[in-house]
Amino acid sequence: MKILSILCIGLLFLVHGAIGQENSPIKRFEGRGQMNSGQRILDLSYQNLNKVPISANDATIEILILDNNKLTQLPNWIGQLSNLRVLSVRNNNLQDISSALGQCTKLEQLYLSGNSSLFQLPNLSSCRNIMLIDVVNTKIQDIPVSIRTMDQLYYFKYSTP
């Protein structure tokens, strides 16, 4: 569990360090360890977004970071991001998460902390690779059955309101 936490923090640190060096928000990062395969990253953090731009609907994106915006929901086309492995939507105003997120079968990490109006998670039973879910500082009270039966999940960060 400690290794995963360090890996996740390191991953987001590397992601934030790699973004913003070119005009395009999508950048190929060549790094070491698990980053050496070259990942498609889209970081739209701190953009005052009210909705996710349609330009983010790119099936090649592996890491989508939408932290610290003003999002109230995720679009239904989020399920079309067939290569999405990491979704971070921390510190927004999410009230609802599209059930289409359950179609992201390669999803490994889901960060939803700081969405104080979020009351429930969608069914993620098709996300068989998910290892980490962070829902701290949300109003989620009921953990879906699908979460309880995920074999790969070994880090579920949760706090009661």
AA identity, residue 57: N
Query: What is the DSSP track for 99-153?
Result: GGGGG-TT--EEE-TT-TT---PPP-TT-TT--EEEETTS---S--HHHHT-SS-
Q: What is the pLDDT of residue 141?
A: 86
How far apart are alpha carbons 160 and 142 in whole angstroms? 10
- pLDDT tens per residue across span 91-113: 999 998 999 999 999 999 999 99
C-alpha 18: how far from chain center:
17
32 vs 39, 145, 147, CA distance in Å?
A: 12, 37, 31
Tell whether the model's pLDDT for residue 78 goes beyond 60: yes
Task: Provide mean pLDDT across the span 135-147.
Answer: 89
Please say whether the beta carbons of 40 and 61 come within 8 A. yes
Categorize the per-residue pLDDT at 124 as very low, low, confident or very high, splitting at 50, 70 and 90.
Answer: very high
Query: What is the DSSP track for 9-75?
Result: HHHHHHHHHHTTSSSSSEEEE--SGGGTT-EEEEE-TTS--SS--GGG--TT--EEE--SS---B--
pTM of the full structure: 0.77
Q: What is the pLDDT of residue 6?
A: 36
How far apart are alpha carbons 78 and 92 in whole angstroms? 16
Q: What is the pLDDT of residue 140?
A: 92
9 vs 6, 16, 88, CA distance in Å?
A: 5, 11, 12
Task: Provide mean pLDDT across the span 56-69.
Answer: 96
Q: Give percent of the chain above pLDDT 70.
A: 75
How far apart are alpha carbons 140 and 115 in whole angstroms? 10
- pLDDT tens per residue across span 8-27: 444 443 344 433 333 434 33
Tell whether the model's pLDDT for residue 151 goes beyond 70: yes
Q: Give percent of the chain above pLDDT 90.
A: 65
Return phi, psi of residue 88, to 5°: -120, 115
* Residue with the larger pLDDT of the pair 124 and 30: 124
Q: What is the pLDDT of residue 3?
A: 40
Domain edges within the chain = 2-158
The arrangement of secondary structure in 2-158, i.e. its CATH architecture, is Alpha-Beta Horseshoe (3.80)
